[in-house]
């Protein structure tokens, strides 16, 4: 019988499960969306049980669809939305509060206070991160301070914290393993990525008991088996990575200088910088990558909070169309955005601006403006934000990229990929398999279990992708980009008085 690796790709808006064969090809996929909760302005939550049940349902469904038995699955890999914070009772396994999503901005004032007290350099030098509501630590503090009885339980050692990978593995192993991998740990603002440990000083500063923290493992190693009651047999869990580091590995960006951008709910540009911890001068962050040799490796990262999610917003809130792929047809109904610029700062601005108070904005509306112009401006906003990050990264590393690798669901949009190439002035390479996040988790699990011998073996099976070459006059591209920068500056600080 053929053998497979099962990859669980737990994202911000949906849970997916994918089977990969030995050639790295997709043998099956199942996906379930789940509800987004917005209790207050700037707040974003998920029900942890929704995350779990949709992920388990997708996993069982993909096996059934592909007619694959659990015993034919040699390993399971997990990629997950990062920074999203879940706290649960160790005894019952019950969450004490909803998952606070990475996009959530409720701790902006707390972060500003930490910054004003002069703590930013301490955090940067230990974690590689900036003080921002994006990361997990202030979310944990919020839960302990705002959920009745939570702090007392935490101080008694009765609560567990985890990013989504930890929550899934806790449940997949029936509470036997409370773990996370280094890539996810490095997103909490509590993990010292120089000394490779939870940092006692930072935990004390944030008033987070160390007893809540999961054990930290490598991204590619056997960590435990799935309990048989879940319909997945007793498959070995052997790969764990935050979704963007997983995509970096899925694109085989394993050497210094290799870079990719994932066009998902947000956009995430990562460049491998090797085994030396280096801080950004351009307000990017330094993070840990996946390795298979049990040695630390670093990447620079720029995070855009709203990428493909702007299309979801047009679909669900504006009701411009019924299905997300329809945006390309509507955007193509006009020749240009007609001077309309959309800044999708729905949850503030990420890199390189880091403004939690920025507000979303559409500017340049005229009597002649049509839905097509706004749809086109929405697509272009994704590429503009990635360009912001790439310019910052190039200033940091002094390494000019000759090609950018793209992946993620929104990368399927030809118009977006072409506009991105035009703005950057370099080719954009889209792989044959866009699901590199799930693919990376599969590679990590398969390498840990001997399904693949090494990265070189995997590289031989990868089919060629599609290349988008710049077509726009560079002067016009520059003019468009300056217009974008003007709009972004106008959006900054918009929500400060009402936050």
Binding residues: 12-14, 16, 82-83, 134, 243-244, 265, 308, 312, 409, 413
| Tokens linked to 482 | 């300056």
CA atoms within 13 A on the CB side of 6: 32
Residue 226 Cα distances to 74, 112, 236, 355, 450, angstroms: 12, 42, 6, 41, 18
- The annotated binding site for ADP is made up of 12, 16, 265, 308, 409, 413
DSSP secondary structure code for residue 210 in this structure? G
At a CB cut-off of 8 Å and minimum separation 6, what does 425 contact? 470, 474, 477
Closest by CA to 277, choosing from 462, 63, 127, 451, is 127
Looking at 398-448, list the stretches that DSSP marks H as alpha helix, in order from N- to C-terminal side. Answer: 414-424, 436-448
d(Cα 289, Cα 246) in Å, to the nearest integer?
A: 8
Q: How many helices (H) and strands (E) does the chain have?
A: 16, 23
DSSP three-state, residue 4: strand
- The annotated binding site for sn-glycerol 3-phosphate is made up of 12, 82-83, 134, 243
d(Cα 241, Cα 186) in Å, to the nearest integer?
A: 11
- The annotated binding site for ATP is made up of 12-14, 265, 308, 312, 409
Closest by CA to 406, choosing from 191, 397, 423, 396, is 423
d(Cα 305, Cα 372) in Å, to the nearest integer?
A: 23
Based on its alpha-carbon atoms, the radius of gyration of the chain, rounded to whole angstroms, reads 22
Burial category of 323 from C-beta neighbours within 10 Å (exposed 0-12, middle 13-18, buried 19 and up): exposed
DSSP three-state, residue 21: coil
Residue 292 Cα distances to 276, 295, 297, 336, 453, angstroms: 17, 8, 10, 46, 11
Beta bridge partners of 237: 76, 224
- The annotated binding site for glycerol is made up of 82-83, 134, 243-244
Is-contact 266 306, C-beta < 8 A? yes
Is-contact 164 80, C-beta < 8 A? yes
């Amino acid at each position: 019988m053929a053998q497979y690796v099962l990859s669980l790709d737990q994202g911000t808006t949906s849970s997916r499960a994918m089977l990969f064969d030995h050639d790295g090809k997709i043998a099956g996929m199942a996906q379930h969306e789940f509800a987004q909760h917005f209790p207050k302005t700037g707040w974003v939550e998920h029900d942890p049980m929704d995350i779990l049940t949709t992920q388990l349902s997708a996993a069982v469904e993909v096996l059934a669809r592909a007619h694959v038995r659990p015993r034919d699955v040699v390993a399971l890999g997990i990629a997950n939305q990062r920074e999203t914070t879940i706290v649960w009772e160790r005894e019952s396994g019950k969450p004490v509060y909803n998952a606070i999503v990475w996009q959530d901005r409720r701790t902006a004032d707390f972060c500003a206070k930490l910054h004003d007290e002069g703590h930013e350099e301490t955090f940067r030098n230990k974690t590689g991160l900036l003080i921002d509501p994006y990361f997990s630590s202030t979310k944990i503090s919020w839960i302990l301070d705002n959920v009745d009885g939570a702090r007392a339980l935490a101080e008694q050692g009765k609560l567990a914290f985890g990013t989504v990978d930890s929550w899934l593995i806790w449940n997949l192993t029936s509470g036997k393993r409370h773990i996370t991998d280094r890539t996810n740990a490095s997103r909490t603002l509590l993990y010292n990525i120089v000394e490779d440990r939870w940092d006692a000083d930072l935990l004390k500063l944030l008033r987070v008991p160390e007893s809540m923290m999961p054990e930290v493992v490598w991204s590619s190693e056997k960590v435990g088996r799935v309990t048989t009651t879940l319909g997945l047999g007793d498959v070995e869990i052997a790969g764990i990575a935050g979704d963007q580091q997983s995509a970096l590995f899925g694109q085989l960006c394993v050497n210094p200088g290799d870079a990719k951008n994932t066009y998902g709910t947000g956009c995430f540009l990562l460049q491998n910088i090797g085994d030396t911890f280096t801080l950004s001068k351009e307000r990017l962050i330094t993070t840990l990558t996946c390795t298979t040799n049990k040695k630390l490796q670093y990447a620079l990262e720029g995070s855009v909070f709203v990428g493909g999610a702007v299309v979801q917003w047009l679909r669900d809130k504006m009701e411009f169309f019924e299905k997300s792929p329809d945006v390309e047809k509507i955007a193509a109904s006009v020749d240009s955005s007609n001077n309309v610029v959309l800044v999708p700062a729905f949850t503030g601005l990420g890199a390189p601006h880091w403004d939690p108070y920025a507000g979303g904005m559409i500017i340049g509306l005229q009597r002649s403006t049509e839905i097509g112009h706004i749809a086109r401006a929405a697509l272009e906003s994704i590429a503009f934000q990635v360009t912001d990050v790439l310019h910052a990264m190039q200033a940091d590393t002094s390494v000019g990229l000759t090609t950018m690798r793209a992946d993620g669901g929104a990368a399927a949009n030809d118009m977006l990929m072409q506009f991105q190439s035009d703005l950057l002035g370099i080719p954009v390479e889209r792989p044959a398999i866009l699901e590199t996040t799930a693919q990376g988790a599969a590679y990590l699990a398969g390498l840990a279990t001997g399904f693949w011998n090494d990265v070189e073996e995997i590289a031989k099976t990868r089919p060629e992708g599609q290349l988008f070459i710049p077509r726009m006059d560079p002067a016009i591209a520059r003019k468009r980009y300056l217009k974008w920068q003007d709009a972004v500056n106008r959006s900054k600080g918009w929500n400060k008085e009402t936050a």
